[in-house]
Structure 1
Amino acid sequence: MQIRDLPYPDPGVPDVRSGLRFLLWLGRGQLGGQLTSLAWGTLHMAAVASLPVVMGLAVEAAVARSGDRLAVAACLLLLTGVAVTVGDTMLHRTAVTNWITAAARTQQLLARRTAELGAGLTRKVAAGEVVAVSTGDIEKIGWCVESASRFSAALLGALGVCTALLWYEPRLGLLVVLGVLLLALTVLPLLPVATRRADAQRDKAGRATELAADTVAGLRVLRGIGGEELFLGRYRRASQEVRRASVHTARMWALIEAVQVALPGLLLVVVVWRGATLAAAGQMAVGELVTVYGAVLFLMFPLRLFQEFAMAWSFSRPSAQRAARVLALRRTAGTAAHPPDTLLSGDLHDPETGLLARAGECTAVVSGDPDAAGRLADRLGGHAPDADGETSVLLGGVALDEVPLAAARAAVLVQDKDPVLLSGTLRELLDVPGSGAVAHQQALDAAQCADVLRALGRSAGPDADPMAVNITERGRSLSGGQRQRLALARSLVADPPVLVLDEPTSAVDAHTEARIAESMIRLRAGRTTVVLTSSPLVLDRADRVVLLSGGTVTASGTHRELLRTEAAYRAVVSREPLHDDTTPHRPDTAPGRGASGDHRTLPGCVDTAHEERETA
């Protein structure tokens, strides 16, 4: 695999049983690149190791005043220089290729797992953890994979030079071999300490990143309630903790670097002193001393590579473990033996809560716990949490989390309560896979986006086409209600057999909400729609309403029936205190309306949660 061939058509199925197994799996996947890098590295090391020998021959030729021998040494030196240049260039090229391809493979695997888990990912692992794995950990994993071939070449070169020194000059060769072994082992005790400090720094950085992301995402709301300084103060404290942890880690790195410089220099001084003593006593020729000195200088290079690989290995193991932990997350505990070839259809049933959404109807779900509603939305989309005993949601009797992901998502579309709008034109935003039965304008009309189109048109000019106007990333140039309505229009264009909406109208005013509820249900006629909401304006238009309490469905019926008979339902919908008695509502007025039919006369029917929050 070359860099120009990225991304991988298929990154493969990783071995995520442990971080070590994941690293070995990456190495096996790049065996060809590793062997190529090893071959060029061996050539480079052999050429560099030959330089002391050639220099020794040149010195001996100069001492003997032999022009022929000096010419031969010059030719050998030229060939060796060419070999060093070619080997070093190709080694760097292949090593960087191994690094980038390993990082790209890991990134693709993480992206595939993120796409598969969807919104349920952040309920299984912190968002800061995912960001840290996708950035710093990938770099460390690629570093380890890349340095493996250079370490192997350095090991071969060092073994060859040490063996040659023992044969060429045993007295100095033994001293050099013992010194190299001692230096190679000196740094190892320091690496676990550096790894622990780096892990602590990474954890603090992950928490700071998550805090910053939450603060930026809610900046408008924070400004509205005067909480901006409070959250900024928290981020300042978190960033200072990251700074202190970084300094703590840098001190250990500095110590390791000092050891890598000081101890090899000390070995070189000892070898030169011993060699000079032998040369002064006539027991060693000057050319031999130059050869040994050059060999020791060469050994400093593979020694640095040994220590670099030890550092890469030490730092990459926890990174690989974290990556393997994320990659090990699954949307299902098993797979269907024979998944259906046709599009799934039928009633949507969640055995965990007892929810039954009949095919072709609009079912509204009321829950006093927003987190429980969010978990239910994830489960209805086929994202059952791992290892918690929860059973799969059934669509037409088929378990959603046991069918291929593409089939599940073609059948069920889940819109989160905080949908994301990607950058691009409005036409591109609505250009999503769908049945083709719902046109863009139909969906925009149903989502009451006329004012959004007018605002986009004014921003681009009097004659501009609103569909061709660019929307900034995450729709930050739009208000919360405008973003919510455009996201709803996008979901309506997709026109899935089953549409799950989590609080789709929480950021719009009451009048717009009423129009959206009526037009959306009319557009979705004959399709299954599940709306998780506590808005009476939406509930009153649903075919069926169910109450979710304590993680299970406790009541079902129409909005008006439940208002009359269920005190717990009234407490959630009308924001009334829940009393022990279950005295029904007064039947003299229609549920959800006052005597005059005004929605606002029922306490809590339209409260601040449904007031216009476009400027929030």
Structure 2
Amino acid sequence: MQIRDLPYSDPGDPDVRSGPRFLFWLGRNQLGGQLKSLSWGLLHQLGIAGLPVTVGLAVQAVIDRSGGRLALAGGLIVALGVLIAVGDTMLHRTAVTNWITAAARVQQLLARKTAELGSALTRRVAAGEVVAVSTGDVEKIGWFVEALSRFAAAATALVVICVGLAIYLPSLGLMVALAMPVLALAVLPLLPRATRRADEQREKAGKATELASDTVAGLRVLRGIGGEELFLGRYRRASQEVRRAAVRSARMWALISAVQVLLPGILLISLVWYGATLARDGRIDVGQLVTVYSAATLMLFPLRHFEEIAMAYSFSRPSAQRAVRVLSLHRSAQEATVEGVTPTGDLYDPVTGLMAPRGRFTAVVCGDPDEAGRLAERLGGHAATGEEDDKAAAATPSVLLGGVALDEIPLDAARAAVLVQDKDPVLLSGTLQELLDVPSSGLVTADAALEAAQCSDVLSALAQASVDNDGDPMRTRITERGRSLSGGQRQRLALARSLVTDPEALVLDEPTSAVDSHTEARVAAGIAKLRQGRTTVAFASSPLLLDAADRVVLVHEGTVVAVGNHRDLLRNEPRYRAVVTRETDDEAAAADTANGVGDVPAPKSDDVPAMKSIEEIEERA
């Protein structure tokens, strides 16, 4: 795989049983690149290893006053220099290719998993952790994959050099061969502690990243309540914890580096002392001593790769573990079994008993907002599960659309049939025209969707901010996540985007929570009008939106307990009334005592403004 061939047509099915298994899977899938890097690394390392032999030959030729042997040694040195240069260049090229392609593979896997899970991803994994995995962790995983082939080349070169020295000059070669395993393995007792400290540093850095991400996302609210200094203090403390953890980790790696400098130094001193003694006694030639000493000195270079691979693994293992945590999440325990089907009909959830008839506007009221969010995700087939949830997921019936289980159809078909708009939708940067340029049926125009979502004030604001002379709001650029717009404006633009898509079934989670009551009434009427004849489900507790729905369903403690229209439920169902009117227990008890339980008359419109019809509110507005 070359960089020019990226992205992968298929990044593969990763082994997510553990972090080390995931790293092994990455290395195995880049076996060709690893072998290329290993080959060039061996050429480079063995070229370096050949220099001491040629230098020893040159020194001995000078001593023996042999011009021919000196010229031969010089030619060999030049040839080895060329091989070293070529090997080093190609080693760097192939190693960096392995790094980039491995990182790209992980990024593609994460992007595919994000697209598969959608908003369910951040329900299971913190947003800051997702950011840390897709940026810093991907780089560290690529570093380990890149360092692996260079380490293999260095280890192979060390074995070849040690065997060669033992054969060339046993008296000194055996000394070097026996010392090399000690030098390579001396730092192993220190690695567990260094790894633990590196893990601690990564964990604290992840928490600090998560805190920073959450703070930036909620900066507008923090400024409104004056909480900037509070969160700034929290981030400063988290940052200092990361600094202290990094210093503790650096101390261990400094100790490992010191050991790898001290022990080779002792070896070289011992080698020179013993070799000089042998040369003085005439038992070896001076050229042989120079050869062995030069080889031992140059062997310190491949020894550095042992330290590097230890550092790369200690940093990449927790990174791989975090990546595995994200990649192990999945949409469902079931595989798609129905192909080529675009289901239509009633939307039904067997778990709660919720039925949304085809072509009607159904509003759902839940006393627990978290329960409403989970139910909305399940209606779209977006619920994510992990390995530990497989049995529970398999035992949970799938949502049905026209009698077809969403879990049994391909993910793309399920999402085309049922679109879920989260209560906190995200607007991507770009022009308004690009924002509304989404896959759709083509039956709903952008103008109609914007009108139904009551976006006239948004269009006016974008027209004023337009850089074009004609002030076309459709070509005005929207900043990242729509930060230049208010919360209500962002929510209505997201609603318009969902309406343009025109899916078979549209699920809206609190679509009007950020707008005022007058605008909310018009938005509710616009949704009902534009979606006429299409299945629409809206999770809400606002009387204005509930009054516009064809039918209202009350879900209590995970089960449908009442179905009807807004006014009848308000009159006859105390639990519904408690959620919609925010009625306290004391108020409910007083009403039941005065009127009789189950026979509570509907409040007058003057007492409960939410009971007013949409037409009355629009007339007053």
Counterpart among 594, 612, 615 of residue 606 in structure 2 = 594
Residues 500-556 of structure 1: CA deviation (Å, up to 9, x unaligned): 111111111111110010011110011111111111110001011111221222211
SS in 2 for 1:189: helix
Following TM superposition, by how much is the alpha carbon of 1:583 offset from its aligned partner in structure 2, in angstroms?
4.7
Residues 415-445 of structure 1: CA deviation (Å, up to 9, x unaligned): 1111111111100000000000011111111
Residues 563-600 of structure 1: CA deviation (Å, up to 9, x unaligned): 011111111111111345445443473xxx337x9548
Matched, 1:543 2:550: yes
Q: Does the aligned pair in 2 maintain the 1:421–1:474 contact within 8 Å?
A: yes
Residues 33-85 of structure 1: CA deviation (Å, up to 9, x unaligned): 11111111111111111000010111111111211111111111100000000
Partner of 1:614: none
Change (3 A) 1:587 1:124: closer
Change (3 A) 1:28 1:587: closer
Cα distance in 1 for partners of 2:271, 2:52 equals 15
Partner of 2:153: 153
Partner of 2:418: 412
Partner of 2:9: 9
Cα distance in 1 for partners of 2:405, 2:359 equals 19
Change (3 A) 1:376 1:587: closer
Partner of 2:578: 571
SS in 2 for 1:540: helix
Amino acid in structure 1 at the alignment position of 2:192: P
Amino acid in structure 2 at the alignment position of 1:415: Q
Structure 1 residues 444-455: aligned runs within 5 Å: 444-455=450-461
Deviates more, 1:571-580 or 1:68-77: 571-580
Following TM superposition, by how much is the alpha carbon of 1:336 offset from its aligned partner in structure 2, in angstroms?
3.2
Cα distance in 1 for partners of 2:508, 2:416 equals 16
Cα distance in 2 for partners of 1:340, 1:544 equals 33
Partner of 1:353: 352
Q: Does the aligned pair in 2 maintain the 1:40–1:88 contact within 8 Å?
A: yes
Change (3 A) 1:221 1:313: closer
Following TM superposition, by how much is the alpha carbon of 1:401 offset from its aligned partner in structure 2, in angstroms?
2.5
Amino acid in structure 2 at the alignment position of 1:123: R
Q: Does the aligned pair in 2 maintain the 1:435–1:495 contact within 8 Å?
A: yes
Structure 1 residues 300-449: aligned runs within 5 Å: 300-337=300-337, 339-386=338-385, 387=389, 388-389=392-393, 390-449=396-455
Following TM superposition, by how much is the alpha carbon of 1:120 offset from its aligned partner in structure 2, in angstroms?
0.8
Cα distance in 2 for partners of 1:84, 1:385 equals 52
Amino acid in structure 2 at the alignment position of 1:517: A
Change (3 A) 1:588 1:509: closer
Cα distance in 2 for partners of 1:525, 1:383 equals 25
Matched, 1:162 2:162: yes
Following TM superposition, by how much is the alpha carbon of 1:464 offset from its aligned partner in structure 2, in angstroms?
1.6
Residues 357-387 of structure 1: CA deviation (Å, up to 9, x unaligned): 1111111111121111111111111023421
Partner of 1:107: 107
Q: Does the aligned pair in 2 maintain the 1:45–1:154 contact within 8 Å?
A: yes
Residues 176-199 of structure 1: CA deviation (Å, up to 9, x unaligned): 122211111111121121111111
Partner of 2:511: 504
Partner of 1:556: 563
Q: Does the aligned pair in 1 maintain the 2:339–2:410 contact within 8 Å?
A: no
Partner of 1:51: 51
Q: Does the aligned pair in 2 maintain the 1:201–1:246 contact within 8 Å?
A: yes
Cα distance in 2 for partners of 1:139, 1:448 equals 45
Structure 1 residues 90-489: aligned runs within 5 Å: 90-337=90-337, 339-386=338-385, 387=389, 388-389=392-393, 390-460=396-466, 463-489=470-496
Q: Does the aligned pair in 2 maintain the 1:384–1:391 contact within 8 Å?
A: no
Following TM superposition, by how much is the alpha carbon of 1:19 offset from its aligned partner in structure 2, in angstroms?
2.4
Amino acid in structure 1 at the alignment position of 2:145: V
Partner of 1:612: none
SS in 1 for 2:435: helix
Change (3 A) 1:170 1:588: closer
Following TM superposition, by how much is the alpha carbon of 1:227 offset from its aligned partner in structure 2, in angstroms?
2.7
Q: Does the aligned pair in 2 maintain the 1:132–1:202 contact within 8 Å?
A: no
SS in 1 for 2:465: helix
Cα distance in 1 for partners of 2:272, 2:64 equals 23
SS in 2 for 1:521: helix
Change (3 A) 1:224 1:90: same
Cα distance in 2 for partners of 1:64, 1:361 equals 103
Amino acid in structure 2 at the alignment position of 1:365: V
Partner of 2:534: 527
Partner of 1:613: none
Amino acid in structure 1 at the alignment position of 2:205: A
Q: Does the aligned pair in 2 maintain the 1:419–1:484 contact within 8 Å?
A: yes
Amino acid in structure 2 at the alignment position of 1:502: D
Following TM superposition, by how much is the alpha carbon of 1:139 offset from its aligned partner in structure 2, in angstroms?
2.0
Matched, 1:26 2:26: yes
Cα distance in 1 for partners of 2:578, 2:142 equals 55
Aligned residues between the structures: 600
**Runs of 5+ unmatched residues, structure 2:** none
Partner of 1:35: 35
Q: Does the aligned pair in 2 maintain the 1:107–1:138 contact within 8 Å?
A: yes
Following TM superposition, by how much is the alpha carbon of 1:467 offset from its aligned partner in structure 2, in angstroms?
0.4
Residues 436-462 of structure 1: CA deviation (Å, up to 9, x unaligned): 001111111111111111111111266
Deviates more, 1:136-145 or 1:181-190: 136-145
Amino acid in structure 1 at the alignment position of 2:606: G
Q: Over aligned residues, Cα RMSD in angstroms?
A: 2.0
Q: Does the aligned pair in 1 maintain the 2:129–2:209 contact within 8 Å?
A: no
Following TM superposition, by how much is the alpha carbon of 1:348 offset from its aligned partner in structure 2, in angstroms?
1.0
Q: Does the aligned pair in 2 maintain the 1:384–1:392 contact within 8 Å?
A: no
Amino acid in structure 2 at the alignment position of 1:403: I
Q: Does the aligned pair in 1 maintain the 2:567–2:602 contact within 8 Å?
A: no
Q: Does the aligned pair in 2 maintain the 1:384–1:401 contact within 8 Å?
A: no
Amino acid in structure 1 at the alignment position of 2:368: D
Change (3 A) 1:318 1:232: closer
Deviates more, 1:82-91 or 1:39-48: 39-48
Following TM superposition, by how much is the alpha carbon of 1:340 offset from its aligned partner in structure 2, in angstroms?
3.7
Partner of 2:524: 517
Cα distance in 2 for partners of 1:365, 1:454 equals 33
SS in 1 for 2:334: coil
**Runs of 5+ unmatched residues, structure 1:** 607-616
Following TM superposition, by how much is the alpha carbon of 1:261 offset from its aligned partner in structure 2, in angstroms?
2.1
Partner of 1:495: 502
Cα distance in 2 for partners of 1:5, 1:182 equals 43
Following TM superposition, by how much is the alpha carbon of 1:474 offset from its aligned partner in structure 2, in angstroms?
0.4
Cα distance in 2 for partners of 1:502, 1:354 equals 18
Following TM superposition, by how much is the alpha carbon of 1:225 offset from its aligned partner in structure 2, in angstroms?
2.3
Cα distance in 2 for partners of 1:333, 1:587 equals 46
Deviates more, 1:511-520 or 1:348-357: 348-357
Q: Does the aligned pair in 2 maintain the 1:332–1:402 contact within 8 Å?
A: no
Following TM superposition, by how much is the alpha carbon of 1:470 offset from its aligned partner in structure 2, in angstroms?
0.5
Following TM superposition, by how much is the alpha carbon of 1:406 offset from its aligned partner in structure 2, in angstroms?
0.6
Cα distance in 2 for partners of 1:401, 1:297 equals 64
Deviates more, 1:529-538 or 1:350-359: 350-359
Percent identity (aligned): 68
SS in 1 for 2:299: helix
Cα distance in 2 for partners of 1:393, 1:244 equals 50
Deviates more, 1:34-43 or 1:124-133: 124-133
